[in-house]
């Protein structure tokens, strides 16, 4: 990939800075499976403190933290409620079913946002013919909802309803710190409503690997057993934990830069005929836009952008996702916006002259 390439496929493409690499190289390590790794311990204590929980456990990925959380809260044959577009349901191979024997009941939100009224009446009656409803999962910010932030009042109401009905609660907070920076609401305030929270260090925070599950000491003690079962026990993992610690110290406040860059990109897309923001509101660092069928498919448009040095993801037949992050500055976003504008203009010209742009199937 050329150094001039602007990679907006995800905020997971970030590369550790020289200072982060140095912190990783100099980290104190131990065997975190046989005994404990001191740098992992520091990371776990720090993220637990930030979220106002008793304990935390470092894991290789957010999929693992999510799946261990639902496994702890539910037994085989149980059901959890979640938004239809959430990561746990769409992007983790239905691991809740494969690994833990669970069922999911999905509820269609508005760009990922749920209201408590949508959940009332969904708890199954207690009888032998039915699965048992045990858990509510929310995602904040919401990936498929273009980084939409769950309104705090709605989140609070949903979790209160869950507690009233003896349901457990889990937050997929892979990009929770984006919500923290965008709203000014501290991480602990978001987290206090949930039994468990998953947070990711390798997205906007810029660490190379890792997520953490945060909760009570009893839950995390159980999670450690399941991490071993799932193959997530790591030995001298302090090398990775040091990158996450560096990210927590240096890379949270700067998420505001990514949000401003997402707004810049969205403003440019609004001015391009044939492209439509979905949704129009940009809450954090994710921009999703729809490509007019006359331009070809989203994959066609993404391929044309790639040829000009801008990488994005086609997430459907007509939709493209672009994610801002610490490796692309404001100048890079302006250049990406210009390339997107030029590419759309070229494809409009091709359509008007009959120059072979195929129509996407709808």
pLDDT tens-digit profile of 307-322?
999 999 999 999 999 9
Predicted pLDDT at 1 = 44
Q: Which CATH number fits domain 254-352: 3.50.50.60, 3.30.450.30, 3.90.1150.10, 3.90.1150.200?
A: 3.90.1150.10
Please state, in angstroms and rounded to a whole number, the distance separating the CA atoms of residues 195 and 162: 11
Query: Where do the domains of the chain lie?
Result: 17-250, 254-352
Examine the pLDDT at 222 and tell me if it is beyond 60: yes
Which of the four pLDDT bands, split at 50, 70 and 90, describes residue 359?
Answer: very low
Average pLDDT of the residues in 75-103 = 98
Phi, psi of 138 (to 5 degrees): -120, 160
Is residue 301 a contact partner of residue 290, using CB atoms and an 8 Å limit?
no
Contact 87, 143 (CB under 8 A): yes
Are 324 and 354 a contacting pair, CB within 8 Å? no
pLDDT confidence of residue 35: 87
Q: Is the pLDDT of residue 158 over 80?
A: yes
Can you name the residues that pair with 173 across neighbouring β-strands?
199
In whole angstroms, give the CA distance from residue 301 to residue 311. 11
Which pLDDT tens digit goes with each residue over 20-74? 999 999 999 999 999 899 999 999 999 999 999 999 999 999 999 999 999 999 9
Return the CATH class of domain 17-250. alpha beta
On the question of a common fold for 17-250 and 254-352, the answer reads no
Q: What average pLDDT does this structure show over 192-212?
A: 98
């Amino acid at each position: 990939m050329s150094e001039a390439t602007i990679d907006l496929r995800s905020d997971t493409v970030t590369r550790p800075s020289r200072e982060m690499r140095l912190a990783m190289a100099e980290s104190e390590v131990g065997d975190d499976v046989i005994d404990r790794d001191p740098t992992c311990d520091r990371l776990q204590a720090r993220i637990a403190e930030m979220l106002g929980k008793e304990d935390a456990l470092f894991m290789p990925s957010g999929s693992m933290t999510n799946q261990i959380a639902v496994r702890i809260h539910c037994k085989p044959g149980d059901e959890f409620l979640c938004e239809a577009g959430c990561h746990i349901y769409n992007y983790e191979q239905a691991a809740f079913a494969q690994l833990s024997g669970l069922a999911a009941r999905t509820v269609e939100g508005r760009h990922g946002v749920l209201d408590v009224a949508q959940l009332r009446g969904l708890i199954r009656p207690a009888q032998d013919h039915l699965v048992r409803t045990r858990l509510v999962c929310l995602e904040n910010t919401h990936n498929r909802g273009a980084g939409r932030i769950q309104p705090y009042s709605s989140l609070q109401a949903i979790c209160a309803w869950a507690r009233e009905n003896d349901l457990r609660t889990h937050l997929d907070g892979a990009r929770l710190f984006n919500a923290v920076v965008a709203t000014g609401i501290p991480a602990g305030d978001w987290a206090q409503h949930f039994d468990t929270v998953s947070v990711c260090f390798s997205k906007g925070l810029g660490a190379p690997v890792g997520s953490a599950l945060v909760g009570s000491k009893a839950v995390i003690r159980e999670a450690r057993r399941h991490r071993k079962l799932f193959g997530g026990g790591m030995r001298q993992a302090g090398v990775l934990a040091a990158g996450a610690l560096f990210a927590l110290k240096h890379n949270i406040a700067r998420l505001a830069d990514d949000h401003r860059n997402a707004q810049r990109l969205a403003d440019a897309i609004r001015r391009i005929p044939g492209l439509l923001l979905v949704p129009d509101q940009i809450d954090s660092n994710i921009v999703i836009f729809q490509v007019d069928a006359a331009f070809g498919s989203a994959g066609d448009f993404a391929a044309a952008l790639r040829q000009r040095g801008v990488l994005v993801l086609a997430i459907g037949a007509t939709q493209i996702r672009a994610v801002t992050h610490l490796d692309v500055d404001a100048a890079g976003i302006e250049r990406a916006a210009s390339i997107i504008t030029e590419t759309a203009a070229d494809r409009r010209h091709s359509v008007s002259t009959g120059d072979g742009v195929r129509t996407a199937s709808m």
